[in-house]
A and B are shown apart, each in its own frame.
Chain A
């Protein structure tokens, strides 16, 4: 064989092997280099425009019995936001607490390597200190671990990093936002909080970390005062005179229900009895609005009003975009391509909307365009809330994570929902359906997804009671966003809504 051809073949296999390694173990600077190198090649992206003919729908479908117009949906989204802000305050726990100022915060990002931490965007970071308790409604969530803006800021780039920055392929880390707070959840292995079982035979214990079972996840119980109590509601119990802890002001907040089960023997472990706390929250995908309990004198309750709500589309950082093409050469994916990318600040994870309806999320962005994973892309995950179609002001049900299964034979997007083990959806459905076990709901995006604001409409679906834990429900979504419509992409990451500072009611002294 000709030597030059031999060399070419060898070069080809070498490049193929290198590229294969880089595709399985992605390295940031190389990925950016590839994006940069491919930018000129993507100018012909407009050639894919005819593919839009297959995806362009007509008028937006009706999402739940009401006329499908933008103004109405914006109003519904604002009502949802108001209901969420109100739901952050306790109902069962005595409230307000004397000497406690609650600082509202929205869960910003829970998609991260460490699932036992969440970041919050709070309305007023001033009085917040490390170790302060964080609650969601009646439930204790965890404690403040870090306030990044107060941490020493270090940027010591190495030689390679310096070169990359000079070439424009990397940029210095962005200082953390002022209102960012990191919370260590009670699910963290090192988290501990004093607790007791409510009832006549009170039993004290320590709760923290997880007890993983086959079909559910409980909070782990340590050092229970008695081994004979296996049921009852568990609440935080750390009396201030005994323990000088910020958790003590969260005394009385709920942790969950004490439960017991038998774990069958395996090859490595014998049959055993496990006692744990069945949590009242889905800590992984069910956190939305929380309160940081700070000691001090000041406003004791948060009373958000309709006029304080910033509409989901009025918040900063939306940009009109056009879909350049629809479809993916991989038959198992459903994606589209936008005509803008990093050049205008579009980043991976950003929401793409048709009005207030979520169409998809940016899965990858380059210099001149971005790829969007559509709602019907199998595996598309979204944190969701449900609200009755007939009662848009009701406290929403936190569903947690929904996973797209693609489309049904009828063309509707199908989402799979598996309730968390502590889900109280049965009670919620019964309350809002007048005792029935099925209800028509609108599904909305919840908090905790990077660059996806809370309060985007997913569509309408029928929600029914699942009974025993471990079951899953496939929901057919009507009125989902149309990727062929006029679209907007989120380029900002600022907080969505914030109650005005002058809109708080001061705690009544001696309430508790």
Chain B
């Protein structure tokens, strides 16, 4: 029961990170004819950051569960298909877990790498799904929205870079998020 509560609290933290990210995004200039949404892309991917930090801190057997929870929270903040969000979050979490497998995420560059590569994986994957679905819809005439272009990969890369830069700064704070102690790995 306590474990479930901790997972619920993790969901709350990811949702709060998403809300903060949406707030920052809505205050930035949107995509436009005069140029891509560079302002929006400069907002760090806070949801991925919370997920990656949690993967670095909590029991490794919970990686999939954490990714599923992060995907559920993220799906509420984007028009991207839920399955695309799910696979993106899983890949981000598994990348962080792979890095952690070889080295504890206790150095700034490792943290930046884990967070940046996670954000890049999610961003490029969602963009790829948008491109594939959009081109299919244009052929079949099905109802579809959004018009991603190859140039938008720059946005995904920029978000990943900003996330990587921010990660070492906010990592200590996110590492101490309350309510997750029950999910931490046991010390031997």
Contact = CB atoms under 8 A, between A and B. Distances in A.
A448 to B, nearest CB: 11
Contacts of A34: 82-83, 86
Contacts, number: 233
Interface in B131-145: 132-134, 140-143, 145
Interface in B145-166: 145-149, 152, 155-156, 159
Interface stretch (A70-78, A331-339, A392-400): A331-339
B27 A332 contact: no
A113 B142 CA distance: 6
A407 interface: yes
Contact of A328 (B25, B72, B93): B25
Interface in B59-91: 60-64, 67, 72-84, 86-87, 90-91
Contacts of B64: 8, 11-12, 15
Task: Please tell me the size bucket of the interface on A.
Answer: 35 or more
Interface string A362-375: 01100001010100
Interface of B is mostly: helix
Interface string A349-381: 100000000000101100001010100111110
A318 to B, nearest CB: 20
Given A11-B64, A328-B79, A407-B32, 11 more contacts: A8-B63, A16-B94, A38-B76, A44-B11, A47-B16, A54-B23, A54-B27, A330-B80, A333-B78, A363-B79, A414-B32
Contact of A406 (B15, B32, B97): B32
B90 A330 contact: no
B79 A371 contact: yes
Interface in B10-38: 11-12, 15-16, 18-19, 21-23, 25-27, 29-34, 36-37
Contacts of B91: 16
A1 interface: yes
A364 B133 CA distance: 14
A333 B146 CA distance: 6
Contacts of A42: 75-76
B33 A329 contact: no
A410 to B, nearest CB: 9
Interface of B: 11-12, 15-16, 18-19, 21-23, 25-27, 29-34, 36-37, 40-41, 43, 45, 47, 60-64, 67, 72-84, 86-87, 90-91, 93-94, 97, 101, 123, 125-127, 129-130, 132-134, 140-143, 145-149, 152, 155-156, 159
A371 B71 CA distance: 16
Contacts of B26: 51-55, 326-327
A26 B136 CA distance: 12
Given A19-B86, A35-B82, A38-B72, A112 B141 contact: yes
A441 B132 CA distance: 36
A1 B27 CA distance: 45
Given A1-B101, A45-B76, A379-B147, A331 B37 contact: yes
A328 B27 contact: no
